[in-house]
Structure 1
Amino acid sequence: MAKPRRSYQQGCLAAHALDLIGDRWALLIVRELMLGPRRFRSLAANIAGIATNMLTARLEGLEAGGVISRQVLPPPSGVAVYALTPAGHGLTPVMDALCRWGASMPGHDPRLPISPASLMLSMRAQLRRQAADALPMEAGFQLGEEGFVASIRDGRYEVVRADPPQRPLLLTGAPGAMAIAVYGPRPLAEMAAVGAISVTGDLAQAQRFVDQFSLDTR
């Protein structure tokens, strides 16, 4: 049984929102579910530093608050997964705003762990304004065991899980290395030459794709 959620006991709407999602780790769980349902062990693997008992407690709290739901997949799988409710998906602009705000604040350490989902979601928040003038583009990303297809059309970024991401243009690497490839100053050709990532397909097209993202989106 889930423990009663702590409350600020204030009529402030921001305080009410924090009653639901303000506990430590809660928003990171929401982040991992924004691209689709995940199993408990996948959440535990992709949220660096969270203990399993804490993950259980936070999942119970988010479910009690109507932010997530627990579902059992149909046979033959029959496994339990966690998914965002419509209210949970309503946090998408909140997550985007947090990414942009975090990028503007000093002290970010890019050497710390980053999950595949967090990288792919950050790219939505960090899409350059001039991407609205770019031709439609699409690329697959294989980040460890997780695959995604990301596209840019009419200045909008969309990403979906795809295992495997079978696309003519495919970027492969560990999430941390790929974050450096997307946001760092080194060209993809240089990172591919030293084996940090690999690129399948047109390297110039891949460079144009990642050039649409920046930690400074002004």
Structure 2
Amino acid sequence: MRAIIVAPGGGYGNHEAVDIGHVLSSSLALPRLALVVIKSNQKLYEVTSTRRSYNEGCIAAHALDLVGDRWALLVVRELMLGARRFSALREGLPGISANVLTQRLEGLEAAGLVSRAILPDPARVQVYALTDAGLGLWPVLRALCHWGAAQPGHDPRQFISPTALMLSMRAMCARDRAGAHVVQMQLGADRFIIRTAPGAYRVARGDSPAAPLRFTGQANAMAAAIYGPRPLAECAQGLIGFEGDLAEGQAFVDLFRLR
């Protein structure tokens, strides 16, 4: 029996025929994510390589070995502001299947970036959280936010999770112009507290009933209000909800620009 090895992105024109015994015994050094097309009795079978390393000494390649799979960094994003249940991760990543999410969590856990725990009574549910190494990926996400904002083709009408918006604002805030603000941000069922000061910006999950500025709405609508050209007074008339001093609220919104 013979097999055709198709290199990533190479199509069926970039192939090499090898003995199938070498493929199934895993002694063949397959390219990362290579496709093995096995021909037997005029039938084609596909076997995906499980090898997940670039096998390079480059430290960037090593980093991609750990977080380069599709969805991996977005799973990290959803955990960046605290531990989450599996179901909450699915809500923040509606395009991912349960099986793929399980695989990514297992891979990130094996890499030492994610840990799991059981909440104490009465909840008794399993949650996932970033380790210190996982939290160390924040500068990577921040750099990707800045780089992505400068590239053409971004469509802000597509789904934005509450956590994604909070991290986007954390990345894009003009801290040098920040005044002292305490903000309650409610995005659907998710609540966040934002505190700014000259040169500082902090965001965490939680509720602050005494916050002077209170924003409510869905994440996509809030993103349009925060980053869009319309003044807060206009956005607060139907797009989002706002309570507090309008001038102070506008000063807070003015801290954020995508470009």
Normalising by structure 1, what TM-score? 0.93
The amino acid across from 2:220 in the alignment is: G
Aligned mates of 1:165, 1:115 — CA distance in 2: 21
Query: What is the CA distance between 1:135 and its match in structure 2?
Result: 2.4
Partner-residue secondary structure (3-state), 2:127: strand
Aligned mates of 1:134, 1:80 — CA distance in 2: 38
Aligned to 1:135: 179
**Structure 1 residues 6-21: aligned runs within 5 Å:** 6-21=52-67
> Residues 5 and 19 of structure 1 are in contact (CA less than 8 Å); yes or no, is this contact kept in structure 2?
no
Distance 1:165-1:144 versus aligned 2 partners, 3 A rule = farther
> Residues 142 and 165 of structure 1 are in contact (CA less than 8 Å); yes or no, is this contact kept in structure 2?
no
Aligned mates of 2:155, 2:212 — CA distance in 1: 33
Aligned mates of 2:127, 2:181 — CA distance in 1: 32
Query: What is the CA distance between 1:133 and its match in structure 2?
Result: 4.1
Over aligned residues, Cα RMSD in angstroms?
1.4
The structure where helix makes up a greater share of residues is: 1
Partner-residue secondary structure (3-state), 1:105: coil
> Residues 81 and 204 of structure 2 are in contact (CA less than 8 Å); yes or no, is this contact kept in structure 1?
yes
Aligned mates of 2:161, 2:177 — CA distance in 1: 30
Partner-residue secondary structure (3-state), 2:66: helix
The answer on 1:210 being equivalent to 2:256 is no
**Structure 1 residues 77-88: aligned runs within 5 Å:** 77-88=123-134
Aligned to 1:201: 244
Query: What is the CA distance between 1:76 and its match in structure 2?
Result: 1.6
Partner-residue secondary structure (3-state), 1:97: helix
Larger Rg: 2
Number of aligned positions between the proteins: 210
Residue deviations 1:58-117, cap 9 Å, x none?
Answer: 101100111100111112211100000000000010110000000010100010000001
Residue 68 (structure 2) aligned to one of 22, 47, 51: 22
Extract unaligned runs of 5+ from structure 1: none
Aligned mates of 2:72, 2:121 — CA distance in 1: 30
Partner-residue secondary structure (3-state), 2:104: helix
> Residues 183 and 214 of structure 1 are in contact (CA less than 8 Å); yes or no, is this contact kept in structure 2?
yes
Aligned mates of 2:208, 2:196 — CA distance in 1: 16
Aligned to 1:158: 202
Residue deviations 1:187-218, cap 9 Å, x none?
Answer: 1111111x1101011122111101011112xx
> Residues 141 and 165 of structure 1 are in contact (CA less than 8 Å); yes or no, is this contact kept in structure 2?
no
Extract unaligned runs of 5+ from structure 2: 1-48
Normalising by structure 2, what TM-score? 0.78
The structure where strand makes up a greater share of residues is: 2
Moved more, 68-77 or 104-113: 68-77
Aligned mates of 2:158, 2:75 — CA distance in 1: 18
